[in-house]
Amino acid sequence: MAEIYKIKKYVKNFEDFNWSDLDLYQKSAIAYHLLDISLLSKNFHRSVRNKGVISGNNKSFSKAQHDRDEISSLIIIKLTLKSFEDNPWMTLNQIIHFCKSKGGKFVELSRDTFERRVSSLCLSGELEKTHINKLSKSDIAKISHTRNFKYAFKVSIEANEIHRKGEYNVAKAAPLDNFLLNIINIINILPKNIRSELLEKIKD
């Protein structure tokens, strides 16, 4: 996938740089900020309010949802990013594989759990479910080399519009400036030569 290739391209220059190259203070300080980012990210449940509600439309996903969780947010965020690519579709197996690749508790979740989240997102109108018979051969080929699936999913145009205009509920629970401050602090803790090289890559 495009974003993974881009990340690997930047990380390649730092493959020889490891935790063992840091002293105890640097390790502990970076771990502290990583933990803070992790705790903040747990509050990031993708839902919108106020300006996110399209006039005359009462879709449930335009408001905060009690059943919104990390799994639903992860699926919506991934498919939103996919909507900017040549192929916006993903199969259920691809969605499950992506979520499980994040490690942690996602690895232990059952297929049924992911199926329920995807079904719920389709029901709310956030995801669009399409039978492959309705897709062109070229679109199917972009989704997978093997045709062992019946349905494909993508984020709905309506959902993208709401998320584009909306004000995220996460704004109060996990302010963006807190994430940025932690990232800045981590960069400042790094050895000077690594920090300089990293900042050069950020400019790219």
Query: Token pair for residue 24?
Result: 């105890």
Query: Token pair for residue 37?
Result: 């980012």
Based on the fold, state whether residues 73 and 103 are members of the same structural domain.
yes
- H, E, C per residue of 98-128: HHHCCCCHHHHCCHHHHHHHHHHHHHHCCEE
Based on the fold, state whether residues 135 and 153 are members of the same structural domain.
yes
Based on the fold, state whether residues 61 and 78 are members of the same structural domain.
yes
Q: Does the pLDDT at position 99 exceed 80? A: yes
Nearest to 154 by CA among 99, 112, 94: 94
Structurally, the chain folds into a number of domains equal to 2
Tens of pLDDT along 12-26? 556 667 778 888 888
Based on the fold, state whether residues 184 and 132 are members of the same structural domain.
no
Nearest to 127 by CA among 135, 136, 119: 119
Q: How many CA atoms does the CB half-sphere of 75 hold within 13 Å?
A: 31
Based on the fold, state whether residues 80 and 123 are members of the same structural domain.
yes
pLDDT of residue 90: 94
Based on the fold, state whether residues 140 and 159 are members of the same structural domain.
yes
Based on the fold, state whether residues 53 and 13 are members of the same structural domain.
no
Tens of pLDDT along 53-70? 444 455 555 454 545 677
Containing structural domain, residue 19:
1-43+174-204
Domain with residue 146: its CATH number is 1.10.10
Based on the fold, state whether residues 55 and 88 are members of the same structural domain.
yes
